[in-house]
Structure formats: C-alpha cells, structure tokens
Structure 1
Amino acid sequence: MSFDLIQKVTGNNVCVDCDNKNPDWASINLGVLMCLECSGSHRHIGVHISQVRSLKLDTECWQGEMLDFMCSVGNAAFNRSWEKDCPPWIIHPEEYPYLPFVREHYINQKYTYRLFLRKELGDQVSTSFTDDVHRGLESGMVMKKSAENFISPWQQRYLKFHVKEGEPVLAYYKEAALVSAKGEITLKNSIAGLLDPSNADKDHPHQFEIKTSSESEHSGRVFLFSVGSNKEAMEWVQSIRRHSGQVSKRSGKNEATPIMSGMELERLNLKRGLAQKLEEEGVEVAFEGGILQREAYSFGRWMQRFAMIVDGVFYILMEQGGAVVSALPLKGGNVDKYPVNVDREDGIKAGQFGVLCALAHLSLDAGSEANKNAWLEALKGSIQTITIGR
C-alpha cells in the first residue's frame, strides 16, 4: 500500500516526538509520522499548526503530491531542524510516557512556540523570550519535605540557585528575604525528576524530587518538593538539570548528545534495552506478573502495572508489552516483606512489600500473601545471583 512507502522513510519507524515505535498517524502539513498519543496533542494545538490524518484510515490522502511530500521529509530530517536547538535538560516525553502533561507541554513548546527550531531558519519567536524559557527558574517558593521520613510535615521554603566553591548548589530558606539558608543541596551529579501526580499526596499532587550523588555531602539522599502546577514542577526539574549538568535528550536525534550523569544514563539505557534483551539476545524472564505500584513516601493511589525481572533488572511496565515506566538494577538492592511506606488507615495488607535499590524506593502490592512470597523469592534470588556472580 502507498503508506508503506511513507513508513520506510528514514526516521519514520519511530514517533517524531516521543520515539514510540511504528507510528501510524501523520501531520500532512509538517510531513512527519507520530503515535496515537502524540496525535492527540497535535490536534489540541490546532490545525493551523498541525493537520493530523491516519495512515491506515485516511487512505485517500496517500497519493500524488501528498505522497511525494510525505516521502520527501521524514522524521529524522525534520527533527534535525525542529529539535536542533533543544536544550539538553528539557524533559522529553520518552522519559515519562505515562504522564500526558509532559507530552502536551513538550509538543506545545516544539510546535506552538518553536522553541527548539534551528535559529538560522529565522521563523521563530523572539530570542529574548526563547532565552527566558530555556534559562528556566532561578528562585521561588515551594513546599519541601524529607523523603526518608514519610510522616514528616511539608514545610514552606524559598529555593535559590547559587555557586559554592565552584560547584552548583540549591539553597533553601525559611523566607525569601532571609540571608542565612536553612540548608543546601549539592547538585553535582544529582538527578531531578517528576513524580506521578496519581501516586502523590492528594493535597500536594504536583511533586518533583532530587536524588543527590552518593559522593555528595548528603550521600544519596532524596528530597521531595511540591509546587502549584505540573508546569511549575517541570520548570524546576529542568532548571535543576541545567545547573547540575544532568541531561535528558534521547540519543540519535541530533548530531551531538551531551554526556548524561551516570545514574540517569544507566536508567535510560536499561529502559531501551528490555526489548533488545528479549528479542535479539534471547535473555530469559526470571519472573513476571501483574502488580500494584506507587511511589514510596506517598499516600497516592495504587497503579496497576506489569513487572518483570530480566537479567538482574526489575522492570515496571504500564501494562504487559507496554511502555517501560521504571528500570531498576537490582545490584546492591534490598527487598522487604513490608512496604516502604504504610497506609495510615488501612495498615499493611497481605500482598504488600517494598523494593529498595540505587535508583528508587518502591511500594508494591502483589494482591495476596502467596504472590508476595513468590515475588520476594524471585527478587532475592536475582540479587543473590548478581552478588555471587555466575
């Protein structure tokens, strides 16, 4: 069929915006292919920017000049211009496939405001506005708490970036006007990320976290912050990434990709490697099954997920065969028959348990005592195998 020719164009094997495989929706005025989820965001920004059609349903489109146009562009060539000036710390939809607001925000920045478009093309918003957006937040009021003590109260704090002894630091103050800080977070090699609002405290749904390096003064601590909107949370994460040197750009889209922090690179590579391990390398699945999961230290609702243990890595997927939500190396990890955090009202349920490793702390619910014990045995077995080595 004629649309097969479009799918064979370089780069069209993945979505132009989020890298989902085998996209079957198109923007006929931009000449690119996208997945179903991104097509919804394209419709939202308006037909004056992107005109969406289905490759398989709108078959009358794929002939003559339109077919020639679609075959002449392609996602790879398109993004060499439209993502050429995308700052390396920008949050990309591939990182959070389960958070719709990340996808919508990114697509709005990319197409409505053309913030990442190659500057020499000239067709872009004012440089001062673009620079302000790229620079992000430098200070502001937030709510803060320690992740290590989930019953600790939220406290209002004023955050401000500065440099101390040549290293980036995020200081927090009781009030904006005060000179002396309550504390400082060393940002070198730290990791900043968003938390799923559906897993968060209902009174503080818009959260982000900072995980410090094991070499820092705070030695691998996790700090939680709450702000007024998802957009503000993303702006803080991007600003922290910019100061710390953490980057989020996916590989292969531009000529050069900055170096990621070690832990973040490991996490992203693990996500990408699952399909390769299963399909190309033939690695066996040690254990798998449906499971309920939520972020540790929160009292948000439990989310239905599918989990797998593959080659010493604990994968959590949106659903069986779906997008990878988390990829956590089990080396040096620990499992507990009790969850990392406990429901205040309901107490511990029979199927709940916890997993702690270098990249995250998870609370899980296997649904029953028997299923929980099966997961605990599989996880402990994988950790032991990694420790002893084969």
Structure 2
Amino acid sequence: MSFDLIQKVTGNNVCVDCDNKNPDWASINLGVLMCLECSGSHRHIGVHISQVRSLKLDTECWQGEMLDFMCSVGNAAFNRSWEKDCPPWIIHPEEYPYLPFVREHYINQKYTYRLFLRKELGDQVSTSFTDDVHRGLESGMVMKKSAENFISPWQQRYLKFHVKEGEPVLAYYKEAALVSAKGEITLKDSIAGLLDPSNADKDHPHQFEIKTSSESEHSGRVFLFSVGSNKEAMEWVQSIRRHSGQVSKRSGKNEATPIMSGMELERLNLKRGLAQKLEEEGVEVAFEGGILQREAYSFGRWMQRFAMIVDGVFYILMEQGGAVVSALPLKGGNVDKYPVNVDREDGIKAGQFGVLCALAHLSLDAGSEANKNAWLEALKGSIQTITIGR
C-alpha cells in the first residue's frame, strides 16, 4: 500500500497533535497524520485550514503528487514549525484525553490562530512578543470553595498574582477594590489542573484546582475554584503554571532526533540557489517589488524587505539583490487577503495579506490596496494545486 510510505515518514508514528500512536487520518493540505479524535477537531476548524482524509479509506489520494507532498512534510518537521514557540505551560490534549474541549482549544490555538508558529529564519526579533501573546490572566473574579463554610461553600473571590519574598503567590480578595487579601496561595512546587465537568458540582461545572506542595505552609492543601466556562478554566490553569514554573505534561512526539524533511531541504536549497536560478536561460521573474514583512509572523515589527516570484517560488530578500530571508514553494500553497491573527475589524491595514504553505507562513504589507491586489494576483497565478491521484 502506498500509504505505508507516508506512515514511515519521521514523526508519523504519533499523532501530530497528541500522543496517540499509529494515526491513520491525514490533512492533505498540511501534509500531516492525526488520530481519529484530532481529525474531528480538524474538521471543526474548517477545510480552509485543514482538509481531512482517511489514510486507509481514501486510497485514491495516496499516489502521484499528493503522495510526494505527504512524504515531503511529516509530523516531526511540521511541528518544528507549528509548535516551535509553544510555551511550556500550555495545556496539551494528551493531559486530558477524556476532555474534548481541551483538544478543541489546543487545536484552535495551533491552527486557527497559529499562536505557536516559529518565526521565519533570518528574522531578528526578541522573544518578548511571545510573552505578550501568551501572558494569560493576571487577575479576575472566580468562585472559590471554602473548606470551612458548609452552608455556602462557594464564595466569590478576586484572584491576583504577585511576588512575595521572591516567590510566586496567588492572593484572593473578597472584592477587587480591597487592598488586604483574604488569603494567599504559595505557588512554588504547586500543581494546577482541570477537573472533569462530568464529575463536578452541577452548579459549578467549570472547575480547576491548585494542589499545594506538602513542604509549603499549606501542607499539601487543595484549593478548588469555579469559573464561567471551560476556556476560562484552562486560561487560569495555564496562567498559574506560568507563574509557578509548572511544566505541562507533553507527549514525546517532538523528541525524535531531528531529520530534515524533503520540504525543509527543498526550501534550504532554494534559498541558496536563487542567484544561480536567475542566471538560467528562460527563467523569468513573475513579479517583484519592495514589501514589508512582519518579522515574527503575527506579532513582531514590520521590516522593509524585497520580494520576488521566480519559477513558482516566493522569495523574501533583505533588500533588492541582498541575502534571501525565506523561500516558499508555492505549489500547494495559499494566500489570504488578511494576515492571520490580526484583528480584522480595527487592526487590519489596506495593504496587508498572508502567504501560507505547510512549513512557512508570512504576514506581509504591500503598502496599499492596489499593491496588495497586484501581489495577490501574481501569487495566485503562480500557485499550482497538488493533484489527488495520478
């Protein structure tokens, strides 16, 4: 079976999003394999992001160009890009395989909002932008379960992080405006986690807990909280982990010895070979011009660059005639009239757009609507669809 070749690609023995073994579902536009559970979440985010097929049932897919494409990417190479900037406190699906909303939330962060993507090679940017993006909650109202009040155990409290004597602390107040805290939770060596809503109080289904260290002043006490949604509960857990230094449980899917995929090798060779390519007889530049590139994909500064479309490849150069920053093969790629992860109502500018392929994603600004449309037309004219079957 030709799909055996896909399964043998580095990293494809484990689901691209969790630790389920031997995944037999695929995203044919991303070039990855996933388990049945994650394939459902991929369907929910839409075919404009991920196009799901069965590895064993849709056998007509796994031949010709599509087979070559699937074998050129692979889960390991894909996650080196898509999970490169995933903070250690993020909740992963394998932590709570019995909670579907955890899987949905993680996959939305990874694919819809692309929060974990690495910046393109050649970009010089500080890591402070990722801290801003993933900072999470610093304070907010919750319901706290009292260990002493049995008549009305759930009481509204205002939580706020701070540092006391060099150690992270979560203080809780009766009201947000109060200066004096009702109590404090020492977060050092604590464990924050979600509770299964099916086992929770029916009036407080969205719960999270903090298990304090047995060595702390709390002597291992467990603090229980309730909030308004599953999403809010996850945000609190991730924020507590960030402050306490707790590292989320993760699968070993990204721990294999790095082996450069076919597409990574192709991109590297393309970057190195542009000058020689331009000297070849008959090679034409389809479109070129100055452009702004967002140096950390969606959250960094805008930098002046020079872009070219040559022989079905989109090149970004430091300057005209300068070093190549990025090379994106456009076969199977896509363009977006909005750069991903920008507020489309008040943050978008007339000249901004995105260029996407399986292992690279660029946010660009052509300076005006007219220039953007010219780039989009040229890019779309250079993109070739990967055919399914022979």
Q: So what's the TM-score if we normalise by structure 1? A: 0.63
Q: Which piece of structure 1 moves more, 250-259 or 128-137?
A: 250-259
Q: Which residue is equivalent to 1:231?
A: 231
**Could you list the per-position Cα deviations for residues 121-140 of structure 1 after superposition, in whole angstroms to 9, with x for gaps in the alignment?**
69999999864441000000
**Runs of 4+ displaced beyond 2 Å:** 120-133, 146-152, 251-390
Gaps of 5+ in 1: none
* Contact residue 332 and residue 383 of structure 1 kept, 8 A: yes
| Farther off after superposition, 103-112 or 5-14 | 5-14
Which stretch of structure 1 is more off in the superposition, 23-32 or 142-151?
A: 142-151
* Contact 1:199 1:303 survives alignment (8 Å): no
Provide the rounded CA distance (Å) in 2 between the counterparts of 1:303 and 1:196: 46
Q: 1:310 to 1:56 in 2, by over 3 A?
A: same
**Cα distance change, pair 307–205 in 1 and its aligned pair in 2 (3 A):** farther
Any idea what SS the aligned residue of 2:94 has? Answer: coil
Matched-pair contact (CA < 8 Å) for 1:247–1:261? no
CA distance, structure 1, for counterparts of residue 35 and residue 134 of structure 2: 27
Distance 1:38 1:308, change over 3 A: farther
CA contact (8 A) 1:169 1:186 kept: yes
Cα distance change, pair 100–313 in 1 and its aligned pair in 2 (3 A) = farther
Following the alignment from structure 1 to structure 2, what is the Cα–Cα distance between the partners of residues 245 and 140? 20
- Could you tell me which residue of structure 2 aligns to residue 195 of structure 1? 195
Greater relative CO (CA pairs within 8 A, separation 6+): 2
Quick one: distance in 2 between partners of 1:354 and 1:147?
52
Q: Which moved more, 1:262-271 or 1:281-290?
A: 281-290
Equivalent residues, number: 390
SS of 1:385's partner is coil
Secondary structure of residue in 2 paired with 1:225: strand
| 2:273 aligned counterpart, secondary structure | helix
Displacement of 1:188 in angstroms is 0.2
**Inter-partner Cα distance in structure 1 for 2:149 and 2:272:** 33
Change (3 A) 1:326 1:227: farther
**d(CA) in 1 for partners of 2:340, 2:117:** 44
Structure 1 residues 130 and 332: alpha-carbon distance in aligned structure 2, compared to 1, 3 A threshold:
closer
**C-alpha contact 1:338 1:353 (8 A) present in aligned 2:** yes
Distance of aligned partners of 1:241 and 1:15 in 2 relative to their CA distance in 1, 3 Å threshold: same
- Specify the alignment match of 2:127 in structure 1: 127
SS in 2 for 1:44: helix
In structure 2, the residue matched to 1:20 is 20
**Which whole-Å deviations, capped at 9, do the CAs of 1:24-75 have from their partners, x for residues lacking one?**
1000000000011100110110111100000011000000110011111111
CA distance in 2, matches of 1:83, 1:329: 21
- Contact kept in structure 1, 2:16 and 2:33, CA below 8 Å: yes
CA distance in 2, matches of 1:6, 1:266: 18
Partner SS state of residue 376, structure 2:
helix
Alpha-carbon shift at residue 161 of structure 1 (Å): 0.1
Contact persistence 2:32–2:75 (CA under 8 A): yes
With over 3 angstroms needed to count, the CA separation of the structure-2 counterparts of 1:74 and 1:213, relative to structure 1, is same
Measure, in 2, the Cα distance between the counterparts of 1:292 and 1:301: 10
- CA apart distance, 1:252: 3.8
CA displacement at 1:9 relative to structure 2: 1.0
Where 2:343 maps in the other structure, the secondary structure is: coil
Q: Deviations over 1:139-172 (max 9, x none)?
A: 0000001468877610000000000000000000
Determine helix, strand or coil for the equivalent of 1:121.
Answer: coil
Aligned partner of residue 159 in structure 2, secondary structure:
strand
Larger radius of gyration: 2
CA distance 1:287–1:73, change in 2 (3 Å): closer
Instruction: Pick which of 36-45 and 122-131 moved more.
Output: 122-131
**Structure-2 separation of matches of 1:331 and 1:149:** 64
Closer, same or farther: CA 13–271 of 1 in aligned 2, 3 Å: farther
CA RMSD, aligned part only?
22.5
Offset of 1:120 from its aligned partner? 2.5
Q: CA deviation at 1:20?
A: 0.5
Provide closer, same or farther for how the CA distance between residues 207 and 333 of structure 1 changes in structure 2, counting only shifts above 3 A. Answer: farther
